[in-house]
Amino acid sequence: DPGENPHVGDLTGEDIAKHNSRESCWVIVHGKAYDVTEFLPEHPGGPKIILKYAGKDATEEYEPIHPPDTLDKFLPKDKHLGPVNMDTVQQEIKEESPEEKERQERIKKMPKLEVCYNLMDFETVARHVMKKPAWAYYSSGADDEITMRENHSAFHKIWFRPKVLVDVKNVDISTTMLATKVDIPFYVTATALGKLGHPEGEVVLTRAAHKHNVVQMIPTLASCSFDEIVDARQGDQVQWLQLYVNKDREITKKIVQHAEARGVRGLYITVDAPQLGRREKDMRTKFDDSGSNVQSTSGDNVDRSQGAARAISSFIDPSLSWKDIPWFRSITKMPIFLKGVQRVEDVLKAIECGVDGVVLSNHGGRQLDTARSGIEVLAEVMPILRERGLQDKIEILIDGGVRRATDIIKALCLGAKGVGIGRPFLFAMSAYGQPGVDRAMQLLKDEMAMNMRLIGAAKIEDLTPDMVDISSARSHFVTQPEDTLAKRAYDALITPNDMLK
Ligand SMILES: Cc1cc2c(cc1C)[n+](S(=O)(=O)[O-])c1c(=O)[nH]c(=O)nc-1n2C[C@H](O)[C@H](O)[C@H](O)COP(=O)(O)O
């Protein structure tokens, strides 16, 4: 009688363990059994990582990479074998590796949250406490990571021309982005696989975005399901959707129309990733985990060694082009932005196509290496739009390397409506959970108010192009002239005699 024994009829661990081969492969996920034998060759991450858990409980490995509704969506119902009595499943006693022991020690000694005074502090702590694959995935850029570093250093080539004696007693740092009133001109940009850094994943960012009244851009490749992230929204909180366009347009149409039905307020089509870049730190950690080195698999012609990103993105359509824009117009009423535009010619094309906005971005340096930073492209775009009277025809956002409120202010002075921020919030979340993200956002708000005062601006509209000097913005290699005379004076080894030489 099920009343007495709730597990009557359940499968047992023994039943599952018998199906532990390529010929017959059953796995357990969240207490339910699945026959994935026929799915093995289709798995984007390759068959090997599944075979590592054949006949066993795969939940821990499955969780960070797959939204919870993945099996319901992609595995035929007849392969869903039903509940498993987990008391009968022999849980693997995972011997803690020496590396994991060391990491746990570092977590015990990590700095208190109050010691984080800026966004880079979170990155420093995260590097020490995150699991290697998670750190590698979040921190990696493409190829030599030159663009990833340039994104941040580009802001240091732009200098302020502050105004003085402006009444800045009351400073208002709020603004509107895509007709949404926000407390401060940044949004949480789309970054994939949130559960690599935190067991709750993207919903942590949803809660922090609500608390600080900023917009969250929901990633296509989120660990949480889309509906989980939308369900975590509170009150009239605004979310946008970042879209990787699927080769199967029907799937894309369903995703977009479902998002609109769920009240998402903007569609951001990612256009800089027809194929995901080579993030070598991410790739290297895949080799460390023997199960996921899925190179040698029969009949598997896709190179799966490119880390999690490349594996889970094989659905992206590289044929996407300008001719597809009208189709997007036909399937949704949401405003449409192109995310990843990197030259003024494409901004002009976007205006011609009637697109509502663009994000000037190189994907955080994770795509084409030695592409220019978003802020440098912005410095190229805005003067030309103004020249042609087009600056109000399209909303311009930028992202990449934003780590200080001064970076946000420089972007706004040049004409952006706001900026997207990615890694800092991931690192804050991974190291300290939601309190970390809250603090990161609050630090930016405090910096923003202070720096607006120091530049002589009481509100966002007061930020104008004449407040920045961009004469060095296009130099990718700024040498400092060697001031040998001064150097001589400061070189303790030089004696007065030498001066007589
Ligand atoms: C850090 C990071 C960025 C990703 C990201 C994942 C991570 C871990 N992923 S990715 O795996 O495919 O590359 C996405 C993504 O899903 N879609 C997207 O449009 N941009 C993606 N981006 C780019 C992101 O939206 C911003 O362009 C970038 O993060 C801005 O730079 P910062 O990280 O320096 O703020």
242 CA to centre of ligand 1 in angstroms: 10
237 with 210: CB under 8 angstroms? yes
Q: Is the CB of 337 under 6 A from ligand 1?
A: no
Q: Is the CB of 19 under 6 A from ligand 1?
A: no
439 CA to centre of ligand 1 in angstroms: 21
User: Catalytic amino acids?
Assistant: 244, 272, 363
What's the pLDDT score for residue 48?
84
Segment 107-125, tens digit of pLDDT: 999 999 999 999 999 999 9
Can you name the residues that pair with 32 across neighbouring β-strands? 29, 83
β pairing state of 180-182 and 175-177: antiparallel
What's the pLDDT score for residue 295?
30
Q: Model ipTM?
A: 0.99
Q: Which residue stretches of 163-279 are H helix?
A: 203-211, 226-231, 249-261
Q: Is the CB of 191 under 6 A from ligand 1?
A: yes
Q: Is the CB of 310 under 6 A from ligand 1?
A: no
pLDDT band at 67 (very low <50, low <70, confident <90, very high): confident
> What value does the mean pLDDT take over residues 17-44?
92
**Contacts of residue 340, Cβ cutoff 8 Å, sequence gap at least 6:** 270, 271, 272, 273, 359, 361, 362, 363, 367
Portion of the chain with pLDDT greater than 90, in percent: 76
Ligand 1, atom 16, residue with closest C-alpha: 192
pTM, two decimal places: 0.87
> What value does the mean pLDDT take over residues 288-316?
50
Segment 247-258, tens digit of pLDDT: 999 999 999 999
**Locate tokens 């601006």: which residue?**
457
Answer yes or no: is pLDDT of 293 > 50. no
pLDDT band at 301 (very low <50, low <70, confident <90, very high): very low
6 CA to centre of ligand 1 in angstroms: 45
Amino acid type, 416: A
What's the pLDDT score for residue 490?
67
Of 353, 345, 298, the C-alpha closest to 326 is: 353
In terms of C-beta density within 10 A (0-12 exposed, 13-18 middle, 19 or more buried), how is residue 323 classed? exposed
**Contacts of residue 465, Cβ cutoff 8 Å, sequence gap at least 6:** 382, 413, 414, 415
190 CA to centre of ligand 1 in angstroms: 6
302 CA to centre of ligand 1 in angstroms: 23
205-219, 289-303, 329-343, 401-415: least confidently modelled range: 289-303
Portion of the chain with pLDDT greater than 70, in percent: 90
CA distance 83 to 69: 16
Ligand 1: which of 146, 191, 285 to mutate, most ligand atoms within 8 Å of CB? 191
- Helical packing angle, 132-139 and 280-288, nearest 10°: 160
What's the pLDDT score for residue 302?
43
Q: Is the CB of 403 under 6 A from ligand 1?
A: no
Can you name the residues that pair with 339 across neighbouring β-strands? 270, 359
CA distance 198 to 376: 33
What's the pLDDT score for residue 501?
60
- Helical packing angle, 423-455 and 405-414, nearest 10°: 70
Q: Is the CB of 259 under 6 A from ligand 1?
A: no
106 CA to centre of ligand 1 in angstroms: 27
CA distance 391 to 217: 24
Q: Is the CB of 242 under 6 A from ligand 1?
A: yes
Of all helices (H) and strands (E), which one includes residue 72?
Answer: helix 70-74
**Structure tokens given for 447:** 């910096």
Ligand 1: which of 155, 281, 316, 363 to mutate, most ligand atoms within 8 Å of CB? 363
Q: Is the CB of 224 under 6 A from ligand 1?
A: no
Segment 456-500, tens digit of pLDDT: 999 999 999 999 999 989 888 755 667 777 777 765 555 667 666
Categorise residue 456: left if φ over 0, alpha if ψ from -120 to 50, beta otherwise: left
**Contacts of residue 477, Cβ cutoff 8 Å, sequence gap at least 6:** none
What's the pLDDT score for residue 311?
65
